[in-house]
Structure 1
Amino acid sequence: MQSIYQRIEHLIESRGMTKKAFCETLGISTGNFGDWKRGKTTPSTNKLIEIAAFFSVSLDWLIIGKGNPTRVREARGEYGVDSESSDLPLMSGLAENEKEFIREYIEFSAYRKEKRND
């Protein structure tokens, strides 16, 4: 059975990110990340929620590892990111999966900003 760390590592690799970039993006110290790897500690509940939101996976899968890392979708309009964003000149030459990555990043950034303001 995979650990929470192993599932996070799988998500990082599947996204094509480095572990350093992941830590910087989510505000995780590399020391804490190393502690997760060694099994010394596990991410806090709030951090697990952030990680699940960032990778658009279910929190259940991230914590328990049962089933597939099903992508969770929220209504795009909630954060003001919709299909019209694809029409932006900067995005016109990008592949659909690259556009989706950018949309997800914008949604995650809005989510983090909202959480900081709570």
Structure 2
Amino acid sequence: MQSIYDRIESLIKMRGMTKKLFCEELGISTGNLGDWKRSKSTPSTNKLVEISSFFGVSLDWLILGKEPESFLIKETRSTYVWDECDQTGTSLSEKEKEFIKEYISFTRYKKQQSFDQ
């Protein structure tokens, strides 16, 4: 079973980088990298996020070796009553309602774009 270090090492090799350059790019000491290799420690959560972003991989894959699963969130309602969206006890202004409508439209657009790819 591959460790987090093994996956990081694979990413470094695939990018054609040296471990030293990788450490410099991400502000990691070579000693820390060595500790990861020997399983003395593991990267912090913040560092894992940086590494996954740097290489463009998911945290699931980096930490667990799992490919992200596709999932679909299905909405059960097609319309909402504004009062149901407001849990604070104050009513939403027209500007706030318009912002929410734009956000919903944008989210649907992004969702459609991900399905089209």
Larger Rg belongs to: 2
Deviations 1:61-118 (A, max 9, x none): 00000137xxxxxxxxxxxxxxxxxxxxxxxxxxxxxxxxxxxxxxxxxxxxxxxxxx
Show the counterpart of 2:7: 7
Show the counterpart of 2:77: none
TM-score (normalizing by structure 1): 0.56
Q: Counting helix residues as a fraction of each chain, which structure ranks higher?
A: 1
Seq. identity, %: 76
Q: Could you tell me how far apart the structure 2 residues matched to 1:25 and 1:66 are?
A: 25
Aligned pairs for 1:1-118 (under 5 A) are 1-67=1-67
Q: Which runs of 4+ in 1 moved over 2 A?
A: none
Q: CA deviation at 1:46?
A: 0.1
TM-score (normalizing by structure 2): 0.57
Q: Could you tell me how far apart the structure 2 residues matched to 1:7 and 1:26 are?
A: 16
Q: CA deviation at 1:5?
A: 0.1
Q: CA deviation at 1:56?
A: 0.4
Q: Could you tell me how far apart the structure 2 residues matched to 1:67 and 1:29 are?
A: 28
Q: Could you tell me how far apart the structure 2 residues matched to 1:18 and 1:10 are?
A: 11
Gaps (5+ residues) in structure 1? Answer: 69-118
Alignment RMSD: 1.0
